[in-house]
Structure 1
Amino acid sequence: MNKQADLIVYGGTPAGIGAAIAAARRGKRVLMVEPSAFIGGLMTSGLGETDIRSVDTSGSIFGEFLAHVYEHYVSVYGENSKQTKECNGGLRFEPSVARTVMHKLLGSEPGIEAVCLREIVSVQMDDDRIVSIEVEDVQTGAKAVYGAQQFIDAMYEGDLAAMAGVPYRLGRESRDEWNEEFAGKLYCEYRTKEVLPGSTGEGDDLLQAYNFRLCMTDNPDNRVPFAKPDNYNRGDYTSLLDDIAAGRLSSFGEIVKLSRIPNGKTDTNNHHNCSCSTDLPGENLEYPEGKREVRERIARRHKEYIQGLLWFLQEDEALPDKIRLEASRWGFAADEFPETDHFPPQIYVREARRIIGRYVFTENDARLAPGTQRSPIHFDSIATGDYAIDSHATRKREEIGQNRALEGFLGFGALTEVYQIPFGVILPETVSNLLVPVAVSATHMGFGTIRMEPFWMQLGFAAGVAADMSQSSAIPVQQLCVDRLQDELIEARQIITYFRDVKADHEAHQAMQYFGTKSVFTSYEANPDAACTVADASMWLNMARALPGGARLPALPATDRIAPAGVDIGPRKLAKEQPYRLYWAEKPELSRAMAVRWLDATCRSLGVEYRGRFADGSGHSVTRGEFVTALYKLLKLSRRKR
């Protein structure tokens, strides 16, 4: 059946869900198309330990997801229950709970229609615009055409973008290409961060390893035993025997990473300190550009490899009894993934295509900007990220790794700062009605930190808002006013700048978010409650005049001693008065009276009405937060009049 919508979101991933909800809340008819039978991507397929360092760096739709998860555990088990405590404010969750929450979020928006088991097979273009996509029912082979005004590719693989002709990159850049210190070929011991010989920094076509995130339990009443796969190959795992004999490994929990989630379950992942865990480096290279049959074959190989690993750890008599006994305590959670024999349905595609967009995000964008106290500032920031620059291995065990490092495996948390994510990374240059919030424009190293579901979900939300604005304004996404997009995102509680000292409930929070993208602040402290100096106020006004809506902002009064009209100011001997350079050095703070005068003149200049807090606040001086709040409000009022 053919369908028509305002927006088509290809991919029911967290990013796709964020995009669909954002657009639907703004009145758009959204068709979300998912090629698998399940929505939610990795967050509903076993990834229950959220990859984020601080929730203060995330807001909007991801914050809603966390709140719903927390509310679920409170309503089912009680506020003081073990399960509620284990969910850690919503950051840790069972796959079934994540699925329930995702369906609840989608179900609350009547403007969204979700269609599963439909895979894109072609794209119809009109010049630089996508007109429609042709999809195939993966069960019956029946084809249909879905049309829309706007499109968002929210899939891990970037298939829609590729079919629309958006250029993309696979593999790793060299150190030289983007001046990334740790790019390219690298042998780094994960635990100690020691870089080993052989780390030449050359680029290649390799991808970081994939795996599945398993939901396991050691509760015998809810445990399904591990089964031996049909294609079991003991040789895949015998290197573990050497590791154990050499004392490098001594327990089941050192071979697979067991992260606890509620109700006695785990998010089981590859272990960083084990050279033979659940990852399968080097066997995913055909996946990004492969057809369905290729991807299914690769996913099946990864599944059978992991099943074989678990069988080996429980049953192989060459292992120490201690490890076999520990492994025998575990099985798949019986109440998770019943449709797929308790094994997660979604392979963990950590990285596939990366589009070449307006801006390429690199390792340097997530590190400290030289000469400042924060990561680089992006005027078009639409979200923030907070996770280590990270990559899983690209090659299996080699002699050069000295049994200490797998090539390409790295995690540089100490080097990674909270960072802004610019609009340019989701913005193709060649297609005027497409946004790509997952297969973003980044180097391998830059992608290594953006590639976390909380950030993808927020990028999806931003893409949904941008798609609505593009359609409503009848302009290409490349011509959107980024400042207006930021206004809308900030209003929706998206975090686009992180400050340590400006919490979400601070009255200056929105203004600080915005001006944090305009180089007003060069550290993670904005000091919103400190007195505002006339020097800072003048500098911020100079910057604001260059922003949309700011051209008519008047300068600050040159003095704070202006008498009201009608008051005789003579006699006065100006030549004997203190020079203003000395005066402002002695009295550097912006007084409320001076700020009120400026505000009155500004409102007259812009033709708007706004009182602000200047006259109502306590103390002689205006605070930094009060001034930027007024300045941001005036800019928004001016933009809305244009």
Structure 2
Amino acid sequence: MPAPTTPNPGLKYYYPVKKSANPAEREFDVVVYGGTPAGVGAAVQAKRMGKTAALYVFRRHVGGLTSAGLTETDIGKKSAIGGMAVELYKKIGKMTGFRPSEAERAFLELLDEAGVPVFFEHRLDKVEKKGGKIERIVFENGDSAKGKMFVDATYEGDLMAKAGVSYMVGREDNARFGEKYNGVYFSKHSHIPRFAVDPYKVPGDPSSGLIEGVSGAKADNIGKGDKKLQSYCFRMWATKKGEKVPWPKPDNYRPERYELLKRYVNSAPSADFWDLRYRHGPVKINEGDCNNAGPISIDHVGANFGWAEGSYEEREKIFQDHVNYQQGFMYFLANDPSVPAGLRERVAAYGPEANEFPETGHWPHELYVREARRLLSDYVMTQANCTLERTAEDSVGLGSYQMDSHHVERVVKDGKVAVEGGFEKPVRQSYPVSYKSIVPKKSECENLFVPVALSASHVAFGSIRMEPVFMILGQSAATAASMAIDAGCAVQDVDYPKLRERLLADGQVLQPPPPQKKK
């Protein structure tokens, strides 16, 4: 399996790769773009079904967020996980621990065992179509790949966008799909939990302007859609007990950037309140995977709105802004004298694990893109699917996690800081994900699958968007792709009963278990 050939670029999303002196034009039955769990699952499944397949990866790693720190995997209900996803997690379970590096090794082993060629540092440049089908995709380095079927396994839906299919970005009006939590949304806990925080540079004086991290948006049009995205962060891998390095001080560090954080952590009745757990925060830190915790935390709220449709160069700027913000956030908590001593000492006791992410200064190499573009196909998964008020009859996998969105924006409400857009709403039962939600409209493209940036409302995507589910849907997409090749048909015309039979034979779980009777 070819390894990346460029010098280590360090902590970057996008960096120049030289044009190939002799650009390679390769051809496969199934071409997969995107090194996420869905991409690995799709490429491996296509090979297992006797097809030629290749995986093209944007940067230097496979496994997506699972290999970039997100090892405390959100799954919802274990009974909903099947197929190759179970195989992957069992493989990881036989290793010394669920570490990012070991997760990536498990993905690489799956690819190697199946004989899938992987081409790193291939950035999509253009898509060539003819007669409603993709013929070839061309990369920035000049290489290209022809295929009978294509799978867009990117978090951003970059291939589907360049293929000219319909998609959505941001939040829809609640009325569009008959939902409750879409569009501008304030939960019961929108104001800073327990503590009121003044948003103005001079407390109490609106004329002084807003402190950093607070938007001047009105956010008073409840339920109205927009193109804003739920926030992103890096899933840091930390340790207190093991070998660690200090929290890095980023370039261009400015303590004043964290005035909002300073006011927040000093508003608690005591430093003991800040326990570094999910419900209190201000950041969830433990041995291993760390996460956002609360309304003022490592999520860089409101800073990612240009990511979904941005150029690679624009995304690189957003990426570096997230690096600077989050590294500075952790450095501030661990070092600034304005932070309550007890909290400062607890944060400083941890640090990035010294044996993870060596190429990128022990910081995750990938930003957690929770949501970007979403396909708009003939079937849109919505809140009604998650609550089983509507059931897809052509299941290719199950969702089961809560309907979940991280905060979208911090605004001023009643003279105080409030956070908008976040919600956590229960899903009581696993629910089917429609086959039609992972394929475009037939009039737009007949040989493309989109198992990650699938056709779902913002609300439903918040439940579906879990790494194991993406792997499940990637495997199902490749199964259908292989059957479409054999039948010589468009992806929209695959015989679903035959597809269902093969998915079940491969261990996929397509229907929720019957509800248990009360004793």
Instruction: Pick the TM interval, shorter chain.
Output: 0.7 to 0.9
TM-aligned CA deviation for residue 246 of structure 1: 2.6
**Residue 348 in structure 1 maps to residue 368 in structure 2:** yes
Which residue does the alignment assign to 2:181?
Answer: 182
Correspondent of 2:481 among 463, 467, 477: 467
Which residue does the alignment assign to 1:213?
Answer: 235
Correspondent of 1:308 among 328, 335, 342: 328
Query: Could you tell me whether the CA contact under 8 Å between 1:359 and 1:425 is conserved in 2?
Result: yes
TM-aligned CA deviation for residue 2 of structure 1: 1.5
**Residue 386 in structure 1 maps to residue 400 in structure 2:** yes
* Separation in 2, partners of 1:193, 1:230: 30
Relative contact order higher in (CA < 8 Å, ≥ 6 apart): 2
- What's the CA shift string for 1:266-322, capped at 9, x where partnerless? 211111xx2221111211111111111111110111011000001100111111111
* Separation in 2, partners of 1:183, 1:37: 35
* Separation in 2, partners of 1:104, 1:470: 27
* Separation in 2, partners of 1:410, 1:311: 28
Helix, strand or coil at the partner of 1:59: coil
Of 118-127 and 415-424, more deviation after overlay is shown by 415-424
TM-aligned CA deviation for residue 258 of structure 1: 3.2
Report how many aligned residue pairs link the two structures: 463
Query: Could you tell me whether the CA contact under 8 Å between 1:45 and 1:95 is conserved in 2?
Result: yes
Alpha carbons of 1:193 and 1:340: their partners in 2 closer, same or farther (altered >3 Å)? closer
Structure 2 unaligned residues grouped into runs of 5+: 1-23, 194-218
Structure 1 unaligned residues grouped into runs of 5+: 74-82, 84-92, 137-141, 370-375, 501-523, 528-642
Which residue does the alignment assign to 1:35?
Answer: 58
Correspondent of 2:291 among 247, 251, 269: 269
Alpha carbons of 1:451 and 1:289: their partners in 2 closer, same or farther (altered >3 Å)? same
Q: Greater helix share, 1 or 2?
A: 1
TM-aligned CA deviation for residue 398 of structure 1: 2.9
Query: Could you tell me whether the CA contact under 8 Å between 1:187 and 1:199 is conserved in 2?
Result: no
Correspondent of 2:469 among 455, 461, 464: 455
Which residue does the alignment assign to 2:143?
Answer: 144
Which residue does the alignment assign to 1:599?
Answer: none
Helix, strand or coil at the partner of 2:319: helix
- What's the CA shift string for 1:306-360, capped at 9, x where partnerless? 0000110011111111111111101100000001111111111111101111210
Alpha carbons of 1:299 and 1:401: their partners in 2 closer, same or farther (altered >3 Å)? farther
Amino acid at match of 1:300: Q
Runs of 4+ residues deviating >4 angstroms: 190-194, 400-403
Which residue does the alignment assign to 2:438?
Answer: 426
Query: Could you tell me whether the CA contact under 8 Å between 1:9 and 1:31 is conserved in 2?
Result: yes
Helix, strand or coil at the partner of 1:222: coil
TM-aligned CA deviation for residue 234 of structure 1: 1.9
Query: Could you tell me whether the CA contact under 8 Å between 1:43 and 1:95 is conserved in 2?
Result: yes
TM-score, L = length of structure 2: 0.86
Helix, strand or coil at the partner of 1:72: coil
Correspondent of 1:255 among 269, 278, 281: 281
* Separation in 1, partners of 2:250, 2:266: 26
Which residue does the alignment assign to 1:409?
Answer: 422
* Separation in 1, partners of 2:415, 2:153: 36
**Residue 48 in structure 1 maps to residue 71 in structure 2:** yes
**Residue 239 in structure 1 maps to residue 265 in structure 2:** no
Query: Could you tell me whether the CA contact under 8 Å between 1:47 and 1:213 is conserved in 2?
Result: yes
- What's the CA shift string for 1:189-238, capped at 9, x where partnerless? 459999xx95721111111011111001112x511111211121223322
Which residue does the alignment assign to 2:387?
Answer: 367
**Residue 486 in structure 1 maps to residue 493 in structure 2:** no
* Separation in 2, partners of 1:291, 1:467: 29
TM-aligned CA deviation for residue 71 of structure 1: 1.5
**Residue 230 in structure 1 maps to residue 251 in structure 2:** yes
TM-score, L = length of structure 1: 0.69
Which residue does the alignment assign to 1:513?
Answer: none
Query: Could you tell me whether the CA contact under 8 Å between 1:190 and 1:409 is conserved in 2?
Result: no
What percent of counterpart residues are identical?
Answer: 34
Query: Could you tell me whether the CA contact under 8 Å between 2:34 and 2:57 is conserved in 1?
Result: yes
Query: Could you tell me whether the CA contact under 8 Å between 1:166 and 1:431 is conserved in 2?
Result: yes
**Residue 98 in structure 1 maps to residue 95 in structure 2:** no
* Separation in 2, partners of 1:229, 1:310: 10
Helix, strand or coil at the partner of 1:224: coil
Which residue does the alignment assign to 2:11?
Answer: none
Which residue does the alignment assign to 2:131?
Answer: 127
Query: Could you tell me whether the CA contact under 8 Å between 1:49 and 1:259 is conserved in 2?
Result: no
* Separation in 1, partners of 2:172, 2:154: 23
Query: Could you tell me whether the CA contact under 8 Å between 2:404 and 2:462 is conserved in 1?
Result: yes
Helix, strand or coil at the partner of 2:322: helix
Which residue does the alignment assign to 1:18?
Answer: 41
Alpha carbons of 1:102 and 1:190: their partners in 2 closer, same or farther (altered >3 Å)? farther
Which residue does the alignment assign to 1:294?
Answer: 314
Alpha carbons of 1:204 and 1:486: their partners in 2 closer, same or farther (altered >3 Å)? same
* Separation in 2, partners of 1:19, 1:28: 11
* Separation in 2, partners of 1:435, 1:190: 38
Query: Could you tell me whether the CA contact under 8 Å between 1:187 and 1:198 is conserved in 2?
Result: no
* Separation in 2, partners of 1:294, 1:191: 30
* Separation in 1, partners of 2:257, 2:465: 28
Amino acid at match of 1:20: A
* Separation in 1, partners of 2:181, 2:509: 28
Query: Could you tell me whether the CA contact under 8 Å between 2:479 and 2:499 is conserved in 1?
Result: yes
Which residue does the alignment assign to 1:69?
Answer: 92
**Residue 169 in structure 1 maps to residue 168 in structure 2:** yes
Alpha carbons of 1:334 and 1:25: their partners in 2 closer, same or farther (altered >3 Å)? same
Query: Could you tell me whether the CA contact under 8 Å between 1:10 and 1:152 is conserved in 2?
Result: yes
Correspondent of 2:343 among 312, 316, 323: 323
Helix, strand or coil at the partner of 1:420: strand
Amino acid at match of 1:485: L
Helix, strand or coil at the partner of 1:283: coil
Which residue does the alignment assign to 2:12?
Answer: none
**Residue 499 in structure 1 maps to residue 513 in structure 2:** yes
Helix, strand or coil at the partner of 1:147: strand
* Separation in 2, partners of 1:131, 1:186: 42
* Separation in 2, partners of 1:190, 1:161: 37
* Separation in 2, partners of 1:256, 1:344: 20
Higher Cα Rg, which structure: 1
TM-aligned CA deviation for residue 72 of structure 1: 1.6
Which residue does the alignment assign to 1:477?
Answer: 491
Amino acid at match of 1:104: E
Query: Could you tell me whether the CA contact under 8 Å between 1:174 and 1:202 is conserved in 2?
Result: yes
- What's the CA shift string for 1:594-632, capped at 9, x where partnerless? xxxxxxxxxxxxxxxxxxxxxxxxxxxxxxxxxxxxxxx
Alpha carbons of 1:8 and 1:440: their partners in 2 closer, same or farther (altered >3 Å)? same
